[in-house]
Amino acid sequence: MSTSPSGTLVISPEQLLEDWQGHRRLTRRVIEIFPEESLFTYSLGGMRPFSVLVMEMIKMGVPILRGEITGEWRSSDLVDPSTKSELLRLWDDVTADINRMWPDIPPHRFQEIDTAFGQWKMPGYAMFLYAIDNEIHHRGQGYVYLRSLGIEPPPFYER
Amino acid sequence: MSTSPSGTLVISPEQLLEDWQGHRRLTRRVIEIFPEESLFTYSLGGMRPFSVLVMEMIKMGVPILRGEITGEWRSSDLVDPSTKSELLRLWDDVTADINRMWPDIPPHRFQEIDTAFGQWKMPGYAMFLYAIDNEIHHRGQGYVYLRSLGIEPPPFYER
């Protein structure tokens, strides 16, 4: 189905894209503000450094979009970089890829249930929300890393 | 307007409610797993204890729903509790309030721009996403508190 039984528009595809990219702009600022060494080595409670959390976000974007557009679920084979500038370059590549690929999502796929990567059974909208939510979750962890390093992160509400 | 120009259903009001309550179920488990004293006193990097972050979530739910339903923006006057059981009772009250109030949101309010609390100008859908995102953000910080206390938080993907 491609229309709501009640006909209510909650959010359009274009608005969901802008919500995602707004979060990604904020996450980019968090990457930028990290001291280069801390980005790759600092952690709390035995958790992963922020660069590894960021690579998780980077590796999710295109594979999820490809899956929702084509039904083909293929994991990313990107190699983890070792410098902030390289990490930001990968980030910006994904930004452009998302903008380029987004209009190709067949409208019915937002509601169609698929099994992403042979494992995650959910409608397309839930898969996109999962990617966004996962980014917010890990970025929030990056905020704690920054605060404990004495660095003030950008305000959460600025996108 | 109440329908998308493209007629694409991304997410229905009922699905957005379920997404929110799914996140709230996970956050409830994070509250439960916190040792009572740490919940109210533990923090990292000079940040607020998790109980204070949770009260921010609790105080947001009903006022946002009331605002989107009636156009009246009134902040919560709930008093911060001092025990985990009282915090969970407030949490569960909000869960029931959200379920009760949700069907009363006029469909056009998801897209209508309003100035929430005299300050935040955005469509209704963005206000709800803000509440959900703010919860994910602070819950992610709670995960770091727990990990640094040697406690394993529930998996992020379980709702």
> Which residues from chain B sit within 8 angstroms of residue A144, using beta carbons?
44-45, 47, 141, 144-145
The total number of structural domains in chain B stands at 1
Q: Determine, yes or no, domain membership for B30.
A: yes
Count of positions (residues) in chain B: 159
Question: What are the tens digits of pLDDT across the range B76-135?
Answer: 999 999 999 999 999 999 999 999 999 999 999 999 999 999 999 999 999 999 999 999
Half-sphere exposure of B80 (CA within 13 A, CB side): 12
Question: What are the tens digits of pLDDT across the range B10-58?
Answer: 999 999 999 999 999 999 999 999 999 999 999 999 999 999 999 999 9
Residues 6+ apart with CB under 8 A from A48: none
Q: Determine, yes or no, domain membership for A83.
A: yes
In this prediction, the answer to ipTM > 0.90 reads yes
Domain that holds residue B125: 13-71+81-148
Task: Closest CB to B140: pick one of A10, A12, A138.
Answer: A138
Say yes or no to pLDDT of B5 above 60: no
Residues 6+ apart with CB under 8 A from A75: A59, A63, A117
Q: Determine, yes or no, domain membership for B154.
A: no
Q: Determine, yes or no, domain membership for A20.
A: yes
Give the pLDDT of residue B1: 42
Q: Determine, yes or no, domain membership for B138.
A: yes
Q: Is A1 on the interface with B (CB under 8 A)?
A: yes
Q: How far is CA A7 from CA A2, A107, B7, B10, B67, in A?
A: 10, 15, 9, 12, 22
Tokens of A45: 């409670």
Q: What is the mean pLDDT of residues A14-32?
A: 98
Best interface-test mutation with A: which of B1, B3, B8 has the largest number of A CBs within 10 A?
Answer: B8
Q: What is the mean pLDDT of residues A3-31?
A: 91
Q: What is the mean pLDDT of residues A39-53?
A: 97
Give the pLDDT of residue B2: 44
Give CA–CA dist A99/A134, Å, rounded: 19
CATH of the domain at A142: 1.20.120.450
Q: Determine, yes or no, domain membership for A89.
A: yes
Q: Determine, yes or no, domain membership for B24.
A: yes
Strands (E), B101-157: 113-116, 120-123
Q: Determine, yes or no, domain membership for B156.
A: no
If pLDDT is split at 50, 70 and 90, which confidence band does B7 have? confident
Q: How far is CA B116 from CA A73, A96, B127, in A?
A: 40, 32, 8
If pLDDT is split at 50, 70 and 90, which confidence band does B149 have? very high
